[in-house]
Structure 1
């Protein structure tokens, strides 16, 4: 692996830390990781909620409800298509200049894109230019988020005490659940306090403009965090890779790269089914009211956020691979019962099913995912490796899921069983791939393979 000699930024001798300094450092790491990912995912999935409820009317008003929803979800999917580009760019930067500064940059870009969406003219004002500008801003969102998840995971995991890798690795995942809950809650509040005309005219914009305040807070916190000890050690030992993407794709990393992307298929399809597609499905196919559905998703997201640290504790005790396997397998088993409960068209059963599959089952494997994927690569290419696995798989595993499910239900004449079968297949693929993954030890720059 090619290396280049550079001076490590923010290098600290952790062995000289006092207990108070260590606790203060870890508190800052937790705050930077949790706040940052909450804000970034709030921004990204705010778009998803708007795509389900608003954008098909505001930006695609001349289309039928079905076609408008498809077009709205298509712009949603574009964010996932461009995320690998951001993953490659920011992964390279993160492996070359450090995790800390890269994460500050991704937050600024994401916040700017989201705020501009909040002031974007509608199709009624500027015609076809409106959806084009919306698409461009969605591209910028996807590009920024491409470098966010991997960096946030590494910020937590590479700072964590060895015996608490799982708990720290679950922290960025909590941010995702809180970001989704915050987005759906804000939309629900706006719809309750405003009438339909006011909500469609300006109400939805408030949710996007709130991001400006959140981004400023998150940016300040992230600037206070130290560079990770793992990256500092690699830099000090002159072990940085000159071409991280090449090294991620070539042996000995090829196997884990391919298996990691397949292992993520089930998780990606699950999140965007229950957190995104379920909103449109419940309001359009099941004729459930929008606000109660948003509240249901919010409740499930909060339950997930509360249970993710439990998944982290289980990960520390039994290992990330085992917990991820059990969780993905459980997801595959409950897909059909969940859609059966959806079919009752009862808000109560819809909420119960969503809390079980999204709040409980998803939390089990999602809490282990960050630590598992961080163990796929050595430190010098870890940012790029995590970005490649998470963002490239996001195209088919996440971004296309609402489109695929909408199309399958349309082909089946409104029946959800083809869609449920597709989700079950993604779970089977993920179980097989995860079982074949070979983990690495995460102890700073010294990497050894473990069974």
Structure 2
């Protein structure tokens, strides 16, 4: 009889645990796939801007100016992100994380497909780069909400002691996005002749985003809404007084956190885009390496994130977000000069070694920064705060990185000047983290 009673009493608990596990798996799958798709779109453009778009959309007599214009178009996405952060952040805090993630996924995917269908400068003249820049702006606007929402879904579903790890899992998605975009470009460029590739083959990876979009919408349909958002929304509806908009609440209650967290996000954005955009262009233009060669180096190096990023997230749960990020900034600064020395050798193994070191420093920060950023703000302004801080840091660090890299190289004639830039940004971001509060043990449900 005791056994029977015991088994009956345990069944509901087992059922609840199974439901929680299934729900968490769906959240992880939805965030990972969605982020992989969105970063596929972003990195595809970045790689194309570095290696392909200059002669197609920004032709000119001076090759350096043409390449600089192509890289400048890459930065337009970052310019759009603060606006996207305010608009999409507002609705993410008001109507829910899940609904916003549907919207951003669709807008991002369709804008990428649109880029693949654009006429080039040879066909329509100045209208070609204008349309390209408009679609790139739309990409940035959508991504401002996409990445923020995906991280917050994991952060707000995760067990308290594992928030750092689960938030970091989202940041593995960009590995798959980069490998898929670079890999598909590599395959297409290898199969086709150079003439066919520049004529129509480059469009294939962009149009292929439509297939990924359809799959992504299906995967996201299985994801439940954030429990933290649902609790916050219930409290808001139970209050008779009208509530402040998320943006007003953010600027009134969290101005210090916004500035410090934005500053903390600068260095890792710069590190990543100096490598995945500018270094690829440098390898092709300055070292005379093929697209296939530099893409292969980048794909191997980015795979370090599969190990480093989740380990950094788990470490952030054990020793704190701040300490883990400070270790990452120190490592990034230490390998800034060795990276460019090894990369400039133009040989596969030294380039891979230098790139893996550079990406390890980046990964240590990238694994801890999602929980650090999300926990800095209360739930009623968290989406807006996360999006604003991340994307302001992205503009300063990521949007300008390829342009500054090209300028410093042209001005000083050496990539080592770029190492000074990386070290300077690491110091700035580390200072912002040092001045921030540790958030590992806070309650993220209450404002």
Offset of residue 346 of structure 1: 2.1
Cross-structure match for 2:422: 423
Cross-structure match for 1:349: 350
1:88-138 Cα distance to aligned partner (Å, 9 max, x none): 111000000010000110000001100011111111111111111101111
1:50-69 matches, within 5 Å, as 50-69=48-67
1:335-392 Cα distance to aligned partner (Å, 9 max, x none): 011111123232321111111211x222111111101111111111000000110111
Offset of residue 220 of structure 1: 1.5
Aligned residue-pair number: 431
Cross-structure match for 1:375: 375
1:50-98 Cα distance to aligned partner (Å, 9 max, x none): 0011100111123422111100011100111011111111100000001
Cross-structure match for 1:233: 231
Please give the alpha-carbon distance, in whole angstroms, between the structure 1 residues aligned to 2:171 and 2:77.
19
Please give the alpha-carbon distance, in whole angstroms, between the structure 2 residues aligned to 1:189 and 1:306.
26
Offset of residue 266 of structure 1: 0.8
User: Which SS does the other structure have where 2:224 is aligned?
Assistant: coil
1:171-202 Cα distance to aligned partner (Å, 9 max, x none): 22111222112111111111111110111111
| Pair 1:305-2:306 in alignment | yes
Please give the alpha-carbon distance, in whole angstroms, between the structure 2 residues aligned to 1:15 and 1:298.
44
Please give the alpha-carbon distance, in whole angstroms, between the structure 1 residues aligned to 2:302 and 2:342.
19
Cross-structure match for 2:295: 294
Cα gap change, 1:31/1:241 in structure 2, threshold over 3 Å: closer, same or farther? Answer: farther
Please give the alpha-carbon distance, in whole angstroms, between the structure 2 residues aligned to 1:198 and 1:351.
30
Please give the alpha-carbon distance, in whole angstroms, between the structure 2 residues aligned to 1:71 and 1:339.
24
Cross-structure match for 1:438: 437
Cross-structure match for 1:332: 333
Cross-structure match for 1:272: 273
Contact 2:27 2:153 in 1 (8 A): yes
Determine which structure has more spread, i.e. the larger CA radius of gyration: 2
Cross-structure match for 2:250: 248
Question: TM-score, with normalisation over the residues of structure 1?
Answer: 0.93
Please give the alpha-carbon distance, in whole angstroms, between the structure 1 residues aligned to 2:430 and 2:290.
36
Task: Note the aligned Cα RMSD (angstroms).
Answer: 1.7
Please give the alpha-carbon distance, in whole angstroms, between the structure 1 residues aligned to 2:303 and 2:100.
28
Please give the alpha-carbon distance, in whole angstroms, between the structure 2 residues aligned to 1:84 and 1:181.
27
Cα gap change, 1:224/1:431 in structure 2, threshold over 3 Å: closer, same or farther? Answer: same
Gaps of 5+ in 1: 1-13
Gaps of 5+ in 2: 1-11
Contact 2:264 2:393 in 1 (8 A): no
Please give the alpha-carbon distance, in whole angstroms, between the structure 2 residues aligned to 1:401 and 1:366.
17
Please give the alpha-carbon distance, in whole angstroms, between the structure 2 residues aligned to 1:166 and 1:284.
40
User: Which SS does the other structure have where 1:114 is aligned?
Assistant: helix
Tell me which moved more, 317-326 or 37-46: 317-326
User: Which SS does the other structure have where 1:158 is aligned?
Assistant: helix
User: Which SS does the other structure have where 1:389 is aligned?
Assistant: helix
Question: TM-score, with normalisation over the residues of structure 2?
Answer: 0.93
Cross-structure match for 1:384: 384
Cross-structure match for 1:6: none
Cross-structure match for 2:9: none
Please give the alpha-carbon distance, in whole angstroms, between the structure 1 residues aligned to 2:18 and 2:353.
44
Offset of residue 206 of structure 1: 0.5
Offset of residue 409 of structure 1: 0.9
User: Which SS does the other structure have where 2:59 is aligned?
Assistant: coil
| Residue of structure 2 aligned with 1:122, choices 120, 123, 129 | 120
Please give the alpha-carbon distance, in whole angstroms, between the structure 1 residues aligned to 2:302 and 2:80.
26
Contact 1:120 1:130 in 2 (8 A): yes
User: Which SS does the other structure have where 1:380 is aligned?
Assistant: coil
Contact 2:321 2:438 in 1 (8 A): no
Offset of residue 272 of structure 1: 0.6
Contact 2:375 2:444 in 1 (8 A): no
Please give the alpha-carbon distance, in whole angstroms, between the structure 1 residues aligned to 2:147 and 2:335.
27
1:407-422 matches, within 5 Å, as 407-412=407-412, 414-422=413-421
